[in-house]
A and B are shown apart, each in its own frame.
Chain A
């Protein structure tokens, strides 16, 4: 009995879930902030900055505002983080193939990753703060417009491989990188990820100059820390997934580092380069172009597959 539980616990708390994914997330957040700072000719944060932020937030007093459902207020960050941690089990983190797999785990992973945005939206709607409410509305709007293209873009490689299982898709794409055959899908996936994570220029749901901190305006201390960690983990998982499916799979830690960091740099460049889009602009952009392009890509792939057979 103990023999079976211990490895499961270890995989959840140490590797690839839990500790490893936290530390990786922090490292990537640091890289993100540091690179952005360098692009803006600043020095940027020190290497331990994300860790200090999280520790400080965890040690801070947490107040549950009036007018909110206290249970929901406390539970949502936990659910969001738990979703992200669970998703870590199905993703080839650090290039050490996914720990668990079953047919269709891609879909489950994607669902688990959407959980964070969903929780963010509900958290905003739960607090009767005006900024939070607007933030929640925007978060949901963005959820609907960015999850779909992201999902479709990731299903492209799955379709080629003829499987919904992450490691099988990875294996089928190893010989020929999917990015070469489905460049549009790749671009949509990267931009979809930025939108999903609410990073600039798609950060309308938490646009500081309009609605302070969006859904999270009323959160502080532990809740904020958990949401924050959920976000950085989702960043890591998102780029891992894209790298695994589009960039020829991840088979060693070195492989993982090179490909994910390259993707991160692309994302940071986009962050630094553009002004924030209004929510109607970012949504319009995706429903009008993103989704359409992916569908075109799909049609192409189907056609090509038909010819090949």
Chain B
């Protein structure tokens, strides 16, 4: 009985994981970047790169999004907003830091109004370096992040332990 129940759960988890992998809806938030990364994120939507191929859609509302794309060194003014947006997103959620500034503060590292990187404020799941990263790199980063999601077997083992 327990075995078959496990089997059902495993199948369900596999289906859920498949859905998440194939339909990452993204939300873009500029935390004080120079626009360079932002226009490259926008460029990923357009014909040459077309992220809709991978099921990635840019959403407007934090409630609809699975992946938060952050650019910029996090200015003090953006700090609270970033926290709020992160809180508004629903589980499961992932954060991708895009560009040198979002990784470490970049050229703005010693400016008085920057905090130096997204991971100073919220946990980051993937880092995409570059100033700015190419659209291909951004797509690659998101896809890599999703394919690194814990395989179902591992996850279930953890739960049983």
Residues of A whose CB lies within 8 Å of any CB of B are 33, 37, 40-46, 48-49, 51-63, 131, 208, 212-213, 216-221, 224
Give complex CA distance A62, B63 in Å: 9
Given contacts A59-B20, A213-B64, contact A221 B47 (CB under 8 A): no
Give complex CA distance A40, B91 in Å: 33
Contact of B63 among A41, A43, A219 (CB under 8 A): A219
Interface of A is mostly: helix
| B58-73 CB contacts (< 8 Å) to partner A | 59-61, 63-64, 66
Task: Please determine whether B60 and A60 come into contact, CB atoms closer than 8 angstroms.
Answer: no
Answer yes or no: B84 CB below 8 A from chain A CBs. no
Give complex CA distance A208, B20 in Å: 23
Task: Please determine whether A56 and B61 come into contact, CB atoms closer than 8 angstroms.
Answer: no
Give complex CA distance A222, B61 in Å: 16
Contact of A52 among B18, B91, B92 (CB under 8 A): B18
Task: Please determine whether A60 and B55 come into contact, CB atoms closer than 8 angstroms.
Answer: no
**Which of the listed residues B20, B50, B52 has the most CB atoms from chain A within 10 Å of its own CB?**
B52
Contact of A55 among B19, B46, B50, B63 (CB under 8 A): B19
Please give, as numbers and ranges, the residues of chain B lying within 8 Å of A61 by CB-CB distance. 90-92
Give complex CA distance A48, B61 in Å: 24
Residues of B whose CB lies within 8 Å of any CB of A are 15-16, 18-23, 46-47, 50, 52-53, 55, 59-61, 63-64, 66, 90-92
Given contacts A43-B50, A59-B20, contact A220 B55 (CB under 8 A): no
Give complex CA distance A164, B50 in Å: 46
Task: Please determine whether B90 and A63 come into contact, CB atoms closer than 8 angstroms.
Answer: yes
**Which of the listed residues B19, B50, B53, B66 has the most CB atoms from chain A within 10 Å of its own CB?**
B19
Given contacts A43-B52, A56-B23, contact A213 B60 (CB under 8 A): yes
Given contacts A42-B47, A52-B19, A208-B60, contact A33 B52 (CB under 8 A): yes
8 nearest interchain CB pairs? A55-B19, A52-B22, A56-B19, A212-B60, A220-B63, A59-B16, A61-B91, A52-B23
**Could you jot down 16 A-B contacts, CB within 8 Å?**
A37-B50, A37-B52, A44-B50, A45-B52, A52-B22, A53-B23, A55-B23, A56-B20, A60-B92, A61-B92, A63-B90, A212-B61, A213-B60, A216-B61, A217-B63, A218-B63
Of chain A, the residue at the smallest CB distance from B57 is A53
**Which of the listed residues B47, B55, B64 has the most CB atoms from chain A within 10 Å of its own CB?**
B64
Task: Please determine whether A48 and B47 come into contact, CB atoms closer than 8 angstroms.
Answer: no
Task: Please determine whether B90 and A60 come into contact, CB atoms closer than 8 angstroms.
Answer: yes
Closest-CB distance, A195 to chain B (whole angstroms): 21
Known: A44-B52, A220-B63. 9 other contacts (CB 8 A): A40-B47, A46-B53, A52-B18, A53-B23, A55-B18, A55-B23, A61-B91, A131-B61, A213-B64
Given contacts A42-B47, A42-B50, A45-B55, contact A221 B61 (CB under 8 A): no
Given contacts A40-B47, A49-B55, A213-B60, contact A59 B19 (CB under 8 A): yes
Task: Please determine whether A49 and B23 come into contact, CB atoms closer than 8 angstroms.
Answer: yes
Of chain B, the residue at the smallest CB distance from A221 is B90
Of chain A, the residue at the smallest CB distance from B54 is A46
Give complex CA distance A37, B91 in Å: 30
Give complex CA distance A230, B134 in Å: 38
Closest-CB distance, A125 to chain B (whole angstroms): 17
Closest-CB distance, A287 to chain B (whole angstroms): 29
Contact of A62 among B46, B55, B90 (CB under 8 A): B90
Of chain A, the residue at the smallest CB distance from B45 is A42
Of chain A, the residue at the smallest CB distance from B64 is A220
Of chain B, the residue at the smallest CB distance from A60 is B90
Give complex CA distance A52, B21 in Å: 8
Task: Please determine whether A220 and B22 come into contact, CB atoms closer than 8 angstroms.
Answer: no
Please give, as numbers and ranges, the residues of chain B lying within 8 Å of A43 by CB-CB distance. 50, 52-53
Please give, as numbers and ranges, the residues of chain B lying within 8 Å of A40 by CB-CB distance. 47
